[in-house]
Chains A and B, each alone.
Chain A
Amino acid sequence: MALEFKNLSKKEYNVTFIAPFSLKLKPGIFNTILGPTLSGKTTLLRLMAGLEKPTSGEIWHKEINVTKLPVQQRNVAMVYQQFINYPTMTVFENIASPLRVKKITEKEVKSRVHKVAELLKISPLLKRRPDELSGGQQQRVALARALTKEAELVLLDEPLANLDYKLREELREELPRLFAETGATVVYTTTEPSEALLLGGYSATLHEGRITQYDPTQSLYKDPISLVAAKTFSDPPLNTVKVEKNSEGIFLEDGAHWKTSKYTNNPNGNYTLGFRAHHLKLFSTKNDDLKLTGEVLVTEISGSESFVHLKANGNNWVVHTHGIYNFKEEEQIEMYLSLSNCYLFDTEGSRVYDE
């Protein structure tokens, strides 16, 4: 059931909404599209669904070119951010609606609707109307409708964004399980890296209409191929600093450096070092830790963890650490950073590797 995009792009009045890309989506798993708002996620989904005509490129589904096929003939289901349900129909009718178009017996319809309602825990609500339900329940109805359709391509456009924090957690846990059984290709867009990680599967990072990387989520997280992909996939934001590499090692502007023979296969010169907030530690744990100092701007505490925002050599960094630390403003603190936890990017923003 492979869905493949060949050189697909969307351009309007000289503005590129989606830069040309070629992608083969992995069936039967969650494909997460991660990117900030206005990066083109909704446009991308609409292109995939066939709601928008691409400026160039083709969409192939199971070896068939479906680019010119209108939406109604494609087997697609879509769930939106804004709990979209038919307001005048009951929950039962809402869920049954995709089945009504196909010629199925009433008995079959009933059994399928009940089965899906059971899965989404909305069986007691079948007789109600959408406006009588809470946000979370309405979204469950929308999801049930998408599930009932048994579409081969399921598109979820930030479906949990308008829900409460805890509700989001609940539904997020259930989603992969729900769609795994149908074997459909699922595309899920989100702005939060932690959601992508929790959903697993494959992820694509989207930045200003450009897909910067598509890999298994864990690999993308641990091994970004570019500065842009790394930044998109970091929450708290990625810490960066300009460094210079020479034969001795890797040097920061103030002279602090790692004496290392790593990255020797790459030319000497200027690079950008990127590292995640939780790798900047308050205690030394590794042999190749470099000691750095910084001035605290503000500390945020969230029950069991602390986010320390500080300034170090003109860079604004965040330390994300376990435990509660009540540093005062302008306090000088020491941090430790191991080179093995860092990513090195060249001046173009591409990742360089240590062979």
Chain B
Amino acid sequence: MAEVRLQQIRHSYNVDAGEETEYALEKIDQVWEDGGAYALLGPSGCGKSTLLNIVSGLLQPTEGKVLFNNNDVTSTTPDQRNIAQIFQFPVVYDTMTVHDNLAFPLRNRKMGNAEIKERVKTVAEMLDLTASLNQRASGLTADGKQKISLGRGLVRSDVNIMMFDEPLTVIDPHLKWQLRTKLKQLHRQVGFTMVYVTHDQTEALTFADKVAVMFEGEVVQFGTPEELFLSPNHTFVGHFIGSPGMNFLPCELDEGFLVFSGNRIKKSAPITQPETTKKIELGVRPEFIKIDSNGFPVNIIRIDDIGRYRIVKVEHSGYFFNVYVPEEFEVPTENLRVSFDPQNTHIYCDGWLYDKKEPS
């Protein structure tokens, strides 16, 4: 278990990187506390796998340092860092039994046989693999094999950090649930520092205490799932988190009010007027728009029924946005009026959050 610090990491895949070359990672500074559960969330190509490989030692960063418990490990190899990594597809030693797979890392560390047996037994129980211990690893299903990969990391007691690179990619959706909850439970039990890389927001938000949302090589926001949901720093975070994501609409600041298409949404004080050259938008999640007979009128374009709730796509003055309507509420077929929750409507200037919450 270790605290991991990333200092000023920058990385380019071009061997001679100058100022002109494309960087896969731009200035990453992160502190991951000992025993915490973290996630790196972002679309393909945002650099999350690159960052993971830098932490595990499979990649040497062009610039910057990696510190485990304040020791500089940047130039060390993966086996010297005492890490565990679970990959996108199961990596098992096909010719060995499940038991031998789990015992493999321990045998290489010259642990006594009795102790190995004990540890393998404990970990197998944690992962519900006890029944298949003597089976050949190649015969297990995908999720069974992923559990073996997971188990090989858990058997070791010297693991500084455990990393998951989109581990549920090949798992059946019905089993994804089980494996996800199992991972969370394991984290509670074992207490390793864990980092989970994914492009699926549900996986990231349900697993981690804090999530780093990445976009084009940078960490755009690092916060708890609640923070990311309620006050996204950047329009990208607002868009990426939530299904559907945040609605962004053009707006104006007028006489101390936030105004959308002639409708006053809320008092925008105390905010200084930004320069007129910047683009101002308001961001509001579909969940914070309610059906309100005192609100402004909208036209219904489409209603998608997801069972638990409905997403109503509406139009007002040529702008489209989504409204979240829970199961119990009726959607009136005409004369629909909505209003935005002032507390949860944010102002974004050139993409960045403009009205940070005043500490109350």
Contact = CB atoms under 8 A, between A and B. Distances in A.
- Do A and B share a complex? yes
Interface of A: 36-37, 134-135, 164-167, 169, 191-192, 194, 197-198, 200, 218, 221-222, 235-237, 276, 278, 297-298, 300-304, 307, 309, 318, 320, 322, 324, 329
Contacts of A278: 308, 327
Given A165-B200, A278-B327, A303-B228, 18 more contacts: A134-B44, A164-B199, A166-B199, A166-B239, A166-B240, A191-B173, A198-B306, A276-B307, A301-B206, A301-B225, A302-B205, A303-B205, A303-B226, A303-B242, A307-B206, A318-B177, A322-B326, A324-B226
Given A191-B172, A304-B229, A221 B307 contact: yes
26 contacts: A36-B172, A135-B44, A164-B43, A164-B44, A165-B43, A165-B200, A166-B43, A166-B239, A169-B244, A192-B173, A197-B304, A197-B307, A198-B304, A198-B306, A235-B173, A276-B307, A298-B184, A301-B226, A302-B201, A302-B202, A302-B206, A302-B225, A303-B201, A304-B285, A307-B206, A324-B226
B243 interface: yes
B42 to A, nearest CB: 9
A197 B306 contact: yes
B86 interface: no
A252 B25 CA distance: 56
Nearest to B184: A298
Interface string B214-246: 000000000001101100000000011111110
Nearest to A285: B328
B281 interface: no
A317 to B, nearest CB: 12
Q: How large is the interface on B (under 10, 10 to 19, 20 to 34, 35 or more residues)?
A: 35 or more
A307 B307 CA distance: 17
B200 A200 contact: no
Contacts of A192: 173
Given A164-B44, A235-B173, A297 B306 contact: no
B174 interface: yes
Contacts of B200: 165
A298 B184 CA distance: 7
B241 A303 contact: yes
Contacts of B226: 301, 303, 324
A303 B204 CA distance: 10
B188 interface: yes
A169 B173 contact: no
Nearest to B180: A300
Contact of B173 (A36, A221, A324): A36
B95 interface: no
Interface of B: 43-45, 172-174, 177, 180-181, 184-185, 188, 199-202, 205-207, 225-226, 228-229, 239-245, 285, 287, 304-308, 326-327
B302 to A, nearest CB: 9
A284 to B, nearest CB: 14
Given A36-B174, A300-B181, A307-B206, A167 B229 contact: no
B172 A37 contact: yes
B316 to A, nearest CB: 19
A300 B184 contact: yes
Given A165-B199, A235-B173, A304-B287, A298 B188 contact: yes
Contacts of A191: 172-173
A135 B43 CA distance: 11
Contacts of A169: 243-244
Nearest to B46: A164
Contacts of A198: 304, 306
A235 B202 CA distance: 12
B324 to A, nearest CB: 9
Nearest to B169: A162
A351 B304 CA distance: 27
Nearest to A198: B304
A167 B43 contact: yes
A218 B242 CA distance: 23
Contacts of A307: 206
Contact of B181 (A164, A235, A309): A309
B172 A303 contact: no
Q: Name the residue among B285, B307, B327 with the largest chain A CB count within 10 angstroms.
A: B307
